[in-house]
Homo-oligomer: A and B are copies of this chain.
């Protein structure tokens, strides 16, 4: 079956975003990364500040699963935190863009949110720490925090965010149709492989 939706989960610094962008350009697919934020702001009525604050960010206490479990005796929606409102609005927008078809979606647990769709191809991009440190410092420069710690922090946040609404784990091999080590394979080759597979899997 034709894969009209490509989700790209990625370790921070692995180049997953760039790979997704190249794939979208090559295939003529729409590209959604921060574009998700724009759309959530537009459709949810929440402020940009709030949406940006909780984009791919959750804690145990504002976990959507946790909230729904705790509130399961009530109406389940009333009094949701901003974090939960952003999560729900984001999931709605991700389902909308998937319905519109032919798109690449970066992060935000899209592989889980769209898990029942057969036209979804789920990619995870990883790399060795040295390659990620090099890439992060080249792209974003150094900060006071050691780059390796910064990468670990960011990935831990992604893991916690995913866990806050998904009944499975971020980075678990079973979630993905393709995992690429961009450090060894290279950014352009990774993009080429994804395009090749998507173009070869039915029409």
With A176-B179, A179-B179 in contact, do A184 and B121 touch (Cβ < 8 Å)?
A: yes
- Which A residues form the contact surface with B (CB < 8 A)? 121, 124, 126, 171-174, 176-181, 184-186, 189, 193, 196-197, 200-201
Contact status A197-B189, CB under 8 Å: yes
Q: Which residues of B contact A201 (CB under 8 A)?
A: 184-186
Contact status B179-A189, CB under 8 Å: no
Number of this chain's copies in the assembly equals 2
Q: Which residue of B lies closest to A192 (CB)?
A: B196
Q: Chain B's nearest CB lies how many Å from the CB of A11?
A: 9
Interchain Cβ contacts under 8 Å between A and B, 5 examples: A177-B180, A177-B184, A177-B185, A193-B193, A193-B196
| A189–B202 CA distance with the chains assembled, in angstroms | 13
Q: Which residue of B lies closest to A189 (CB)?
A: B200
| A179–B201 CA distance with the chains assembled, in angstroms | 17
Contact status A126-B174, CB under 8 Å: yes
Q: Which residues of B contact A186 (CB under 8 A)?
A: 200-201
Q: Which residue of B lies closest to A3 (CB)?
A: B184
- The residue among A176, A179, A189, A200 with the most chain B CB atoms within 10 A of its own CB is A179
Q: Which residue of B lies closest to A197 (CB)?
A: B185
| A179–B200 CA distance with the chains assembled, in angstroms | 18
With A193-B193, A200-B189 in contact, do A177 and B173 touch (Cβ < 8 Å)?
A: no
Contact status B179-A178, CB under 8 Å: yes
| A186–B171 CA distance with the chains assembled, in angstroms | 22
Contact status A178-B177, CB under 8 Å: no
Q: Which residues of B contact A179 (CB under 8 A)?
A: 124, 173, 176, 178-179
Q: Which residues of B contact A171 (CB under 8 A)?
A: 173
Q: Which residues of B contact A197 (CB under 8 A)?
A: 185, 189, 193
